[in-house]
Structure 1
Amino acid sequence: MASSYSNNLITITAFMILVSLTSVIKCDNNNIILEEGYTVTTLIDGDKLTVNPYAVVSLYGSSSDDLVILDSVKSTFYTVTVSGSQVSEINKLSGNDKGNAGYKDGDLGSAEFNKPKSFTVDKKNNIYIADKSNHVIRKISKSGVTTIAGGNIRKTGKADGPAQNASFSDDFELAFDLQRCALLISDHGNRLIRQIDLKAEDCADTSSGPGVLGSTIAWGIGVVVMCLIGFIVGFAVRPYVLPYTGRSTSGQRDMEAFPNQSGETSSDVLLRRQKRNC
């Protein structure tokens, strides 16, 4: 009898637990609004490419879907070209892909970083790195790697002022602000939002126009086209202009032969002047 009572009690308890879980699930579903129409696709498989992508950004004005990925473990940056949903090319951009962390500026091939985890890109595709372990902010450009902030301090702090003398906490991230033409710094350790003003040229929208070289080429093409149009138009109206010019010449000769008030023609005057000169 006691055994039957225990079994019934277990059954009732299990039923109550199931009802409670069902209520919780229904309650949670009532707070979720699922919006359809989105698809998840894997673009980069780190296991296949032997990289550990920690962060990624897309380059501005790229026609081939170029991305920059950061392998924080190796302290190395890579450029990746994605065509559709397939990686067609991957190349080391900068850093020591052997996993050696350090602090070294200079050319792209020999520069070293210390396990950065945050970076951003400006409109000229310069890359700015929050090199937290080195307590500095660095820049990757076509000419190489440089330090733009914290280089004279290289220790934690929250000092503002000239960028080389500034200091940061052990935990900060970067974002590019086009409207301010600046880097925004989320300095988590100091509970601060900070700013570094960039150069105006770094915020120029290269994707909205052809640039200086493109403008020069466009002007050259325009001049050539206008010259060709002028040549074609001139050649087309020439048959109509020559007869008119001929009539004008004939009229001019008639005017020269017409006698003046003294009864002399222009030819008589010319002969008289030549005799004087002789």
Structure 2
Amino acid sequence: RLPRRSTPPVPSAMASPPRVLLGHALLLTPLLPLLACAGLVLEDGYTVSTVSDLNPTGTHPYALLPRPRAGDLVLLDSAGSTLYTLPLPVSADAGPRRLAGGAGAFGHGHPRSIAVDGADNVYVADRANGSIRKVAPSGYTTTIAGAYSVGTGHRDEPAQNATFSADFELIYVPKICALLVADRGNRLIRQIKLKPEDCAHENQKGLGTTSASIIAILAALFGSIIGFLARHFYPFHVSVSLLPLLLKKRSIQ
């Protein structure tokens, strides 16, 4: 019978290196975020603050856009398929007010893209139904594209027969008074020309500037005419008014 061999004990010098490495790793853990940001350029001077807590109202903010005429914000609750308005500045005292949507107004499509034109109309990308809705400032909702289309596609005008992919986004471009559609599913950029009254805010602004310039020019011209008349005719009127006095003085002499 062979004698039983005993396992030699592990020297302490061989067991210590893993513990040392583990200790070093624990020391470096707090520095990992700094190491991850080593290639970033940081800029200080900004503050993040919560201005409105929508949890008590059950509103899920997905997108926010300003309305130029009303001077407030339009909020898209994608989960509830509802549009709300928020006054500016945003505060906890003034909660969201329902503008449109809900109860199947957008077909429960949970829209995720909106755009606002110069007249405060809100355009909603109803991707689930392949259509584009227009919500007036009063909340009145119409369909401007895709009303008669069924399913997805990339058919163009007329707008009510147009088809879109299942993933598209809207953006309003005031310079050309149009909606641009980023049709991701079809890899296309589509355009919908809007009506002149939809871009009235920009047009009125430009008209106001032009009118002010015309008024300023007319005022300057009128002032020049008055000055010319005063310089040339005022001495004549003075001499005529003084003529009786001069004649009376001569008769006395």
TM-score, L = length of structure 1: 0.64
Structure 1 counterpart of 2:162: 166
**Alpha-carbon separation, structure 1, partners of 2:122 and 2:18:** 63
Displacement of 1:83 in angstroms is 3.3
Quickly say closer, same or farther: Cα 1:207–1:7, change in 2 above 3 A: farther
Quickly say closer, same or farther: Cα 1:175–1:29, change in 2 above 3 A: same
Tell me the secondary structure at the aligned position of residue 87 of structure 2: strand
**Alpha-carbon separation, structure 2, partners of 1:210 and 1:50:** 43
After superposition, the C-alpha distances for 1:19-65 in whole angstroms (9 at most, x for unaligned) are: 77688655433212111122222233220333111111111144xx5
Greater length-normalized contact order (CA 8 Å, ≥ 6 residues apart) = 2
Structure 2 counterpart of 1:265: none
Q: Structure 2 counterpart of 1:153, which letter?
A: S
> Is the CA contact (8 Å cut-off) linking 1:79 and 1:91 kept in structure 2?
yes
Task: Specify every segment of 5 or more residues in structure 1 that has no aligned partner in the other structure, as ranges.
Answer: 104-111, 220-240, 249-278
Structure 2 counterpart of 1:94: 100
> Is the CA contact (8 Å cut-off) linking 2:120 and 2:137 kept in structure 1?
no
1:136 aligns with 2:139: no
Structure 2 counterpart of 1:176: 172
Tell me the secondary structure at the aligned position of residue 30 of structure 1: coil
Quickly say closer, same or farther: Cα 1:71–1:121, change in 2 above 3 A: same
**Alpha-carbon separation, structure 1, partners of 2:60 and 2:91:** 19
**Alpha-carbon separation, structure 2, partners of 1:31 and 1:95:** 45
Q: How does 1:222-233 map to 2 (within 5 A)?
A: none
Question: What is the number of equivalent residue pairs in this alignment?
Answer: 217
1:208 aligns with 2:198: no
Structure whose CA Rg is larger:
1
> Is the CA contact (8 Å cut-off) linking 1:61 and 1:206 kept in structure 2?
no
Task: Specify every segment of 5 or more residues in structure 2 that has no aligned partner in the other structure, as ranges.
Answer: 1-8, 216-236, 245-253
Structure 2 counterpart of 1:52: 60
Structure 1 counterpart of 2:224: none
TM-score, L = length of structure 2: 0.69
Structure 1 counterpart of 2:6: none
**Alpha-carbon separation, structure 2, partners of 1:4 and 1:194:** 73
Displacement of 1:200 in angstroms is 2.9
Q: How does 1:1-278 map to 2 (within 5 A)?
A: 1-2=9-10, 4-5=12-13, 7-15=15-23, 17-18=25-26, 25=33, 27-62=35-70, 65-83=71-89, 85-96=91-102, 100-103=103-106, 114-142=109-137, 144-204=140-200, 205=202, 208=205
**Alpha-carbon separation, structure 2, partners of 1:87 and 1:183:** 34
